[in-house]
Structure 1
Amino acid sequence: MAYLLFAIMKFGIDFPVGTLMDALQWILVLGFFFRQKTEKNWKIFKGPVSVMILIWLLYNFIEVANPSAESRLAWVYTVRTVGVVMLMYFIFMFHIRTVIFIRFILKMWILLTLFAALYGLKQEYIGFSAGEEAYLHSDPNIMSLLFIDEHWRKFSIFSDPVAFSYNMAVSSLLCMALMTGAIKAWKKILLGVFIFIFLWSMLSSGTRGAYVLVPATLILFAVLKYNKQILLFSVGAGVFITVMIFIPTSNPTLYRFQSAFKPSDDASFNVRKANQKMIQPYILSHPLGGGLGATGAWGQRFAPNSFLAHFPPDSGYVRVAVEMGWVGLLLFCILMFIILKTGIKNYYRIRDPELKAYCLAMVLIVFAFNLGNYPQEALVQFPSNIYFYLVVALINITYRLDIEKNGPVYGGI
């Protein structure tokens, strides 16, 4: 539902689909607590990741009392989405109990990505639909964001090119990790074809931040899965990317790809850098920040005359620092560190080859989303926000299933 949300909206259905998504999540949360009356399985709340997520949720709720906040309504609208989405981690932890279920989820993920990738290529080589054309020309601001160098940035079935490109990037990493598992040769070839299609489609988005994600994450991939084949693959990929970066070209898509690796030559990057420098004194003087929803659409709606309402964060980390202060940024970074640390630790502990490949995929995706959260806001839009907490849950679920299959590691945890 999260993946197809904006595709449904494109059909012009006059229905609050976003509200339906909120309702579905709340129903799942309520269902979880009803199930706990009989099962009483509170083990999912144990462990460093679960504890940090609860601490982060608590901090989000404490922000309602932030004395610097210009609007409590902005907090209500923001925490409604942020808080419920984070609770999905516990829903996934509770309900995903078999390897078969994980296989089903990952197959569905790849098939949905394939559909989105092919639709993005359709936009690139055939053109936009009439409804999409009307949307693109409905607002001058949309045109200024999506029409770059005489070329439209593609967004496929997503809300914007950033969500599109990030999903293509992390899905290609998913396929790369799955190829390391004990699967048949034809499946590895098929996954390789999917990777090519996903990355080809990603280029049409024109999102510079996404172009860096796969090459940078391949470094972690080579470190975690260190062997001759992976090393040769990484070196080959590095040489290919280097050639792509420095080869002379007049192609606007390839030129934009090259500019992602030369940020000092990018005017938009320099503007963001200047904005971040400008806002630093505010962040340092406001340890709790300006309140949830102080920037962006909710800030402009509920506190249009405030200092932060028209500040463009242009980064997930900067938004956290501005709205929740340096205290919030510190907690957020600790949360991400613990997730990655737990994922890497579980990867080396898991003995089942299939579960090991799944855990590796999840670690790479978490790493990529965190890299992407600096130049853009990677974790706030559907389906990335739902997928992220699914990925985090699978890091723990794969290890739990391995223990159930092969017994405790090192005498127990």
Structure 2
Amino acid sequence: MLQSIRAYKTDLILFALMAIAVPAIPYLTAGNFRTGVLILFAMFGIALAIACINSAKLGFYIALATVITVRFFERIYQQEVPVGAVLDLMIFSAAIGTMMKKSRKTAGAINYFREPLFMILFMQFGFYLLESLNPMAPNKATLGIFFRILLRYLLFAILTTIALRTKKDIYFFFKFWIGLSTVSAFYGCYQEWFGLPSWEMALIMTTPEKLMTTMIGGHLRVNGTMSDPAVYGLMMAITSILLIILLTASNAVINLQRKVLIVISLLLHLLALGYSGTRTGYVMIPGGLLLFLLVTIHKRNTILAAMFLIFAGGAILFGPFYGNATINRVRTAFVGTEDASLNVREINRHSVQPFMHSHPFGGGLFTVGGEGRAYNPGHPLAGFPPDSNLVRVVLECGWVMLIIVLAVYYLQLRYCLANYFRFTDEKDKLLAISTASMVFAFVISTYAQESGGLMEMAVFMNALTGVIVRSKYL
């Protein structure tokens, strides 16, 4: 009897929680709907934490799915969820579960303190710790939150290497991601074709700021299941690169039926990207594919794909289509030489170059933009809009940190390309070059906007970091 209980203790705990939740939630909701919703999320949070402790792989996929879909449920219930705290709970629970298991030291284990990519990530974390002592940023009130976020993403990269131990695991990760992203892309298209549901419109209309960021030229930007149109467009662009590269595979690797599904998914992603109005995303696709083209130019399928994409891109940019707001928005990303916002950004960046040159360790954490105005008022950088992840890094932490960040990107690309030329299987080579192209596209996005600080993008890119390191050992 006791052995049976020990064998199924996780299932019994989950069943007990659900048994309590079924009568409790309706009772509490009858008096206060918000209280009922919070208790519902708490019950599911505890259940998910127990599941994550029991299985690092399950915790990894739950965290990945949560960060992409939780905003959708937020809008349904009109109740803000502390997504960061939920994500931390799952990641830390999976990490604790892994440390508790005796089987954690198995074949394929990675020595993270000797792995160059993780070593430089640890160096980056340590440098941020030193930045907390920067005298130019005296307010330390939010440093705990900042370092919790840093630790979250670092642990998620490590968790990825634990959850994905074999090539089959990595294959499933990409399939899972494509499926999850396709659902989000479809919902974004639904928002554009049939209009936003009343409960989403109500949320957008709550504050003028939300309406301003969602509306461009009288047209609402879609955000699918994600937090805002900007991160939604970036994620659609990243996945589009992966899908395009997979279409160049031979029929022996990906058969015709699966390619038809990939084409359908790609069309949904490209449409969702267009509807999001994220111009950076439009530039990311040709930028990422350029690296793929340079590495695989000797392949017939690559040349055919490049010819088709050039023709399609030329038709969109120069074709006789003038009444479509989405196409006009895409064109401004490539031929908008008189874009006022871009000119303002360039002027702003030139104005702070003397500060960059004279402050190798930057002005301190939380000193730029709205955070600087809120936490360090009176600082020379307070209120300055960086409009770029790289600009924010060099202003807050100096060009020393910028070198470290660029070294991380360099090692990621180096690992991917080394894996590509080392692998002999076509599927493995395609995934290696796809990862390199996605990382390169992400680097492009960090120049144009603050993509590194967006939760969905940060989670996915740290998952790719784990995939890159794990692939080195396969």
The verdict on a shared fold, with TM-score over 0.5 as the criterion, is yes
232-241 or 5-14, larger mean C-alpha shift: 5-14
CA distance in 1, matches of 2:464, 2:104: 27
Post-superposition offset of 1:169? 0.8
Q: 1:215, 1:238 within 8 Å by CA — same for their partners in 2?
A: no
Specify the alignment match of 1:72 in structure 2.
140
Specify the alignment match of 2:450 in structure 1.
377
Q: Does 1:246 align with 2:340?
A: no
Specify the alignment match of 1:3 in structure 2.
68
CA deviation string 1:80-130 (max 9, x = no partner) = 213321231111112311223223222221111111111111111111122
Q: Does 1:212 align with 2:278?
A: no
Q: 1:211, 1:260 within 8 Å by CA — same for their partners in 2?
A: yes
Specify the alignment match of 1:225 in structure 2.
296
Post-superposition offset of 1:195? 1.0
Specify the alignment match of 1:362 in structure 2.
435
CA distance in 2, matches of 1:52, 1:7: 35
Q: Does 1:347 align with 2:420?
A: yes
Specify the alignment match of 1:323 in structure 2.
396
Cα pair distance change 1:282/1:189, threshold 3 Å: same
Post-superposition offset of 1:26? 2.5
Specify the alignment match of 2:232 in structure 1.
164
CA deviation string 1:195-235 (max 9, x = no partner) = 11101111001111111111122211111222122112112
Q: Does 1:389 align with 2:389?
A: no
Post-superposition offset of 1:321? 1.0
Cα pair distance change 1:34/1:58, threshold 3 Å: farther
Q: 2:248, 2:302 within 8 Å by CA — same for their partners in 1?
A: no
Cα pair distance change 1:33/1:301, threshold 3 Å: farther
| SS of structure 2 residue aligned to 1:174 | helix
Q: 1:29, 1:91 within 8 Å by CA — same for their partners in 2?
A: yes
CA distance in 1, matches of 2:81, 2:315: 48
Decide which of 390, 407, 411 is 1:334's aligned counterpart. Answer: 407
Post-superposition offset of 1:263? 4.5
378-387 or 28-37, larger mean C-alpha shift: 28-37
Cα pair distance change 1:123/1:35, threshold 3 Å: same
CA deviation string 1:300-357 (max 9, x = no partner) = 4322443323111111111111111111111111111111112111111112222222
Cα pair distance change 1:39/1:297, threshold 3 Å: farther
Decide which of 283, 286, 289 is 2:359's aligned counterpart. Answer: 286
CA distance in 1, matches of 2:270, 2:104: 46
CA distance in 2, matches of 1:76, 1:31: 24
Cα pair distance change 1:336/1:133, threshold 3 Å: same
Which amino acid is 1:208 matched to? R
176-185 or 258-267, larger mean C-alpha shift: 176-185
Post-superposition offset of 1:246? 2.3
Which amino acid is 2:272 matched to? S
Post-superposition offset of 1:47? 2.8
- Equivalent positions of 1:98-117 (< 5 A) are 98-117=166-185
Cα pair distance change 1:309/1:26, threshold 3 Å: farther
CA distance in 2, matches of 1:334, 1:293: 23
Give the TM-score normalised by the residue count of structure 1: 0.91
CA distance in 2, matches of 1:252, 1:319: 31
Specify the alignment match of 1:176 in structure 2.
244
Give the TM-score normalised by the residue count of structure 2: 0.80
How many residue pairs were aligned? 401
Which amino acid is 2:288 matched to? T
296-305 or 17-26, larger mean C-alpha shift: 296-305
Specify the alignment match of 2:189 in structure 1.
121
Q: 1:366, 1:392 within 8 Å by CA — same for their partners in 2?
A: no
CA deviation string 1:24-77 (max 9, x = no partner) = 222233344445896284524433212221211111222111122232123332
For structure 1, the 5+ residue unaligned runs are 402-413
CA distance in 1, matches of 2:361, 2:171: 42
Cα pair distance change 1:79/1:308, threshold 3 Å: farther
Specify the alignment match of 1:198 in structure 2.
269
Q: Does 1:23 align with 2:89?
A: yes
Q: Does 1:234 align with 2:306?
A: yes
Q: 2:388, 2:450 within 8 Å by CA — same for their partners in 1?
A: yes
Which amino acid is 2:319 matched to? I
Which amino acid is 1:290 matched to? G
Post-superposition offset of 1:180? 4.1
